[in-house]
Amino acid sequence: MVVSVLPRIAARRPHVLTIAPAPVTDDLLAVRLAAESEIARRGWPVADSPADADVVLVAGGLGRRMTALVRSVWATVPRPRVLVTVRSAGELGPGLDSAQERLARGGDSSDRDRVEWARSADVDLTDDNDGPPGVIMGGAGAPVMAGLADDDRDGLALDALHVALGPVLPHWPAALVVHALLAGDLVTDARAEVLDVPGPREVTRRRDAYTPDHVRLDSLVRVLGLAGADRAAARARALRDGEPAPGELAAFGHRLARSRTLAWTLGGIPLAATDHVAVPEPTVEARVRALAAGLGGSLAPPVRPAPHRAAAALVGLELGAARLALAAMDPDTALGAGPVEPFRPAERHEHHHHEHHG
């Protein structure tokens, strides 16, 4: 009896990992927003990573590379687990109901159902088998994990790490991959790619479907969520998904813009590391304040940079600061980016600290 009761209790609060394609149409954006809203309404937690997920929710139809990505992510989700795909906002309710029911009965099983070797944040993104571009490779044999960066300002050659960040990360722009070069936890180079959407391209949106306030609130949900200001993030999401009175929006924006703790937490992150200006605001703090202050007003929608511009602004930031910066800039992945030339692993020198076996 216990065997059947436990999964049922565990399935009462499934953690959901949502994977959404780039919002190249309003409908795709609508599915992603509806999914976030529905998961919050049910009180289900959002999974931090594939390791934390019970339900993998694919919100919208996917292209070839996103499909490959879902396949490799799914392979790393521990059982019991359920995969559910919805193509419209209307399918969400029944889809999540059935996911919970399947989870309570022990989850999906299939031939691919064993946990395979894979990572979560840096998944294999390509179909070819001799190593994806810009993705660190593991496994036995001769792993190529770290190359040598250019000489540091001190003349020391430091190890550098090539990683593909995203798109399965919390509060990360849909379908965006940032090919980054890391030295420690410092981003020393970054290039953007949007899976299945090579850029640059033009986007036309129905302006009436999503107001400037929707756009602002969606960016704020991400920044506040990443900053760990969970209550404010939940409030922003409720306002985004609901029908708030204009006064409510302005009051919320005013409170955010005035918050000293938030300003201190977000302070000191520049958004203008390069010559290419991604957004008009010089810092994350100013950007968030501008987003908050614009709520409930009649200002034009905030400037959302193209992904490659946003990625360039991450260079020189610590990883945590880079995440906040990206969320605050909130690049429009519908504009597309990439494809990206793979990073060439640096020539392997005999390092003063590394003496490799064999």
Partner 1 sequence: MTLLIMAAALGAVAVVTGIAVFVVDSMARATFLLLASFVAVAVLLLAFGLAYLGIVVVLMMTIEMMIMVVFMVMLMMNPAGLEPMTMVHNRAGSRVIALAVFVVLAAGALLVPWPTRPAAPGDPTTALGADLMGPQMLTMTVLGLALLATIVGTVALSVSPGSRR
Partner 2 sequence: MADPATLLPLLLLAPALVVVAGLAAAGGAVTSGDRATAPVVETLRLLTKQRRRTPADDPLLARIGLTVLPVAAVLALAVVPVGLPGTGAPVDLEVGVVWFNAMEVLAWFAVWTAGWGPNAVTALVGGYRTLPLGLAYELPHMLAIITPAIAAGSLDPARISAAQHGLWYAVWMPVAFLLYLVSTAAMAFWGPFAAPLGRDLAGGAGAEHAGLDRLLLHAGRWMLLVAAAAMAVPLFLGGGAPPPITGPDPFSGPAWSWFAIKLLVVLALLLGLRRVMPVLRMERFATLAWVVLIPLAVAQALVVTVVVLV
Please give the residue ranges that form the binding site for partner 1 (CB under 8 A).
136, 143, 145-146, 153, 156, 158-161, 182-184, 186, 268, 316, 353-358
Q: Considering the rule CB under 8 A, would residue 133 count as an interface residue with partner 2?
A: no
Nearest distance, CB of residue 169 and partner 2, angstroms:
5
- Would residue 106 be called left, alpha or beta, if left means φ above 0 and alpha means ψ between -120 and 50 degrees? left
Cβ proximity to partner 2: between 219 and 336 the closer is 219
Stretch that binds partner 2, among 18-26, 44-52, 63-71, 341-349 (CB under 8 A): 44-52
Scan residues 67-86 and list those touching partner 2 (CB under 8 A).
76, 78-80
Among residues 110, 117, 127, 202, the one that binds partner 2 under rule CB under 8 A: 117
The per-residue DSSP string of 229-258 comes to -HHHHHHHHHHHHS---HHHHHHHHHHHHH
Nearest to 24 by CA among 197, 177, 193: 197
User: Measured from the CB atom, is 297 or 345 closer to partner 1?
Assistant: 345
Strand partners, 57: 18, 84
Task: Choose among partner 2, partner 1, none what residue 357 binds, the Cβ cut-off being 5 to 8 Å by kind.
Answer: partner 1
> Rounded to whole angstroms, how far apart are CA atoms 273 and 290?
19
* Least spacing, CB of residue 161 vs partner 2, in Å: 7
Query: How far is 180 from 184, CA to CA, in rounded Å?
Result: 12
Amino acid type, 331 = P
Rounded Cα distance, 2 and 13, in Å: 18
Q: How far is the CB of 80 from partner 2 (least distance, A)?
A: 7
Query: From CA 275, how far away is CA 128, in angstroms rounded?
Result: 36
Beta carbon nearer to partner 2, 7 or 301? 7
Closest separation in Å from C-beta 192 to partner 2: 18
Nearest C-alpha neighbor of 211 from the set 292, 288, 302, 293? 302
Comparing CA positions, the residue from 127, 226, 241 lying closest to residue 169 is 226
Choose the binding region for partner 2 from 18-26, 164-172, 213-221, 245-253 (rule: CB under 8 A). 164-172
Contact string (CB under 8 A) for partner 2, positions 249-268, x = contact: ------------xx-xx-xx
**Dihedral sign computed on CA atoms, order 52, 56, 59, 60:** positive
Among 170, 212, 270, 342, binds partner 2 (CB under 8 A): 170
Applying CB under 8 A, the span of 29-37, 222-230, 249-257, 294-302 interacting with partner 2 comes to 222-230
With CB under 8 A as the rule, give the number of residues binding partner 2: 58
Nearer to partner 2 by C-beta: 7 or 297? 7
The contacts of residue 24 (CB under 8 Å, 6+ apart) are 197, 203, 334
